[in-house]
Amino acid sequence: MNLGEGISRVCRDCGAQLNPDSNFCHKCGSKVVPVEPVHLDRGGGGGGEELPKLYHVYSSVSNFRYQGILYDNLKINWFVVGRKKPQISFDRAIANYSDLSPALRVHPEKYILERFTRMEADLLHGYLASAQKLDAVIEALELPVSENERAYRGGPPPPGTDFIQLFKKNSYDLAFNVEGIFNIKMADERIVPDERATVITRFTPEILKKSNHEGG
């Protein structure tokens, strides 16, 4: 079963579809962060700037059924689960890492472990497009991240949140495990017309008299 139809220009915070000239999200008010499209070419770049090493990957889904209700503009954030070793060193990925206590390092470390390398992001993009008929946005992560970052699996999720265990689908063939997280409170619930027939009773004087008699 496919997850839904993807769209490419969405709010990073709530997943709402954005107008091409929007500077702020019409739904949650967040400032729109320009995202440079990421192409799936494997060729070398012509510029001299170093590319970011880690990435976010997310999709915006319509026609998504959850607990019997259809939702549109539902944002799904994809992330890696079960990674043991960091893709790049924590001291480079996390600000002031050497000054943090072991307790303060836990949350940002888990956050980094959930992000994607460029190759992983490209492979996931391809899998979502071919197996799930779902588009995705690949967005560079600004490094270093703050010590306040929290992993998606780092604690109790907020109300309305649930997970998609993508790696357990029969079609899954990637070498790393991916889950998705979404919050229905940040999506648009689709209003479905009530198709039940309305029965109109014709109240004759006899029916009214009987009703009044039975009522008292």
**How many C-beta atoms lie closer than 10 Å to residue 33's C-beta?**
10
pLDDT of residue 191: 80
Under DSSP, is residue 13 helix (H, G, I), strand (E, B) or coil?
Answer: coil
pLDDT of residue 150: 95
pLDDT of residue 53: 87
pLDDT of residue 39: 41
Which one-letter DSSP state was computed for residue 57? E
Residue 127: name the closest of 83, 78, 171 by CA.
Answer: 171
Each residue of 44-66: pLDDT tens digit? 444 445 555 899 999 999 999 99
pLDDT of residue 72: 96
Q: Rg of the Cα trace of the chain?
A: 24
Domain that holds residue 123: 5-215
Helix (H) or strand (E) holding 125: helix 118-131
Q: Compute the half-sphere exposure of residue 21: CA atoms within 13 Å on the CB side of its CA.
A: 0
145 in Cβ contact with 111 (< 8 Å): yes
Residue 176: name the closest of 102, 133, 117 by CA.
Answer: 117
- Name the pTM for this structure: 0.69
Number of domains in the chain: 1
Angstrom CA distances, 199 to 202, 204, 214, stand at: 10, 16, 22
pLDDT in tens, the chain (216 residues): 345 443 345 666 666 666 666 766 766 766 665 544 444 333 444 444 555 589 999 999 999 999 999 999 999 999 999 999 999 999 999 999 999 999 999 999 999 999 999 999 999 999 999 999 999 999 999 999 999 999 999 888 899 999 999 999 999 999 999 999 999 999 999 887 655 554 444 545 554 455 555 555
Name the residue type at position 40: L
